Amino acid sequence: MDEPRPTALALPGDALTPGRMVEIWDEEVFCYHARVEEYIGHLSVVWVRETGLGHRRLVLAQQCRRP
């Protein structure tokens, strides 16, 4: 419960298709990759499984576009 919540921007639903890889940014601006497991709603809330860790966390997802 005291884990920092990742921050994000909303995305269109097609960007969060299950199986797509997304980048998650937490409050410390640490970026990690995650795979969308289930798209739950129009506010871009998704279940993801963090790659390499194997557990799920409910987060807001954002695709990172680097310059």
Structural domain spans, the chain: 13-60
Q: Max alpha carbon distance in the chain (Å)?
A: 34
Burial of 22 (C-beta count, 10 Å sphere; 0-12/13-18/19+): buried
| CATH 3.40.50 fits domain 13-60 | no
CA distance 43 to 13: 9
Strands (E), 2-65: 21-25, 31-39, 45-50, 56-60
Q: What does the CA dihedral 29, 32, 36, 41 come to, rounded to 10 degrees?
A: -10
Q: Is the predicted pLDDT of residue 20 greater than 70, yes or no?
A: yes
pLDDT tens digit string along 24-64? 665 555 666 667 666 655 444 444 555 455 444 544 444 44
